[in-house]
C-alpha cells in the first residue's frame, strides 16, 4: 500500500460514524504517525490554521477499499 492510497478514504468508527475524508498523512522517520481528516483538516492543509481532526495511527483498526476504520473514540 502507498500513502497516496489512503488519501480521500472515509474515516469511520466501527459503528459507522463518519469523521470525514483523509486529507493528509503525517509521518516521522518513515513511519505513519497520524491521519488528518475532515473539512477543517482540508483547510488546515491550505491555510496553516490548526483545528483539523487528527487520528493517531494507533487508532487505525482496518483499511478497506473505501474507508479507514478506527477504534472507538473520536479523533482529537
Q: Is 0.85 topped by the overall pTM? A: no
The structural domain count of the chain equals: 1
Q: Are strands 31-37 and 18-28 parallel, antiparallel or unpaired?
A: antiparallel
Report yes or no on 50 lying in a domain.
yes
24: β partners? 36
Q: How far is residue 8 from each of residues 22, 29, 52, 61, measured CA to CA in Å? A: 5, 23, 15, 17
Report helix, strand or coil for 49: coil
Report yes or no on 75 lying in a domain.
no
List pLDDT tens digits, range 14-65.
Answer: 888 998 889 888 899 989 999 988 866 655 565 555 566 889 999 999 999 8
pLDDT at 68: 93
CB atoms within 10 A of CB 33: 13
Report yes or no on 64 lying in a domain.
yes
Report yes or no on 57 lying in a domain.
yes
Report yes or no on 52 lying in a domain.
yes
Report yes or no on 76 lying in a domain.
no
CB atoms within 10 A of CB 36: 22
Q: What is the CATH number of the domain that holds 9?
A: 2.30.30.240
> Range of 49's domain?
3-70
Amino acid at each position: 500500500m502507498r500513502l497516496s492510497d489512503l488519501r480521500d478514504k472515509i474515516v469511520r468508527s466501527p459503528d459507522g460514524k463518519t469523521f470525514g475524508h483523509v486529507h493528509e498523512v503525517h509521518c516521522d522517520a518513515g513511519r505513519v504517525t497520524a491521519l488528518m481528516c475532515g473539512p477543517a483538516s482540508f483547510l488546515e492543509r491550505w491555510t496553516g490554521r490548526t483545528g483539523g481532526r487528527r487520528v493517531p495511527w494507533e487508532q487505525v483498526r482496518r483499511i478497506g477499499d473505501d474507508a479507514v476504520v478506527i477504534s472507538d473514540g473520536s479523533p482529537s
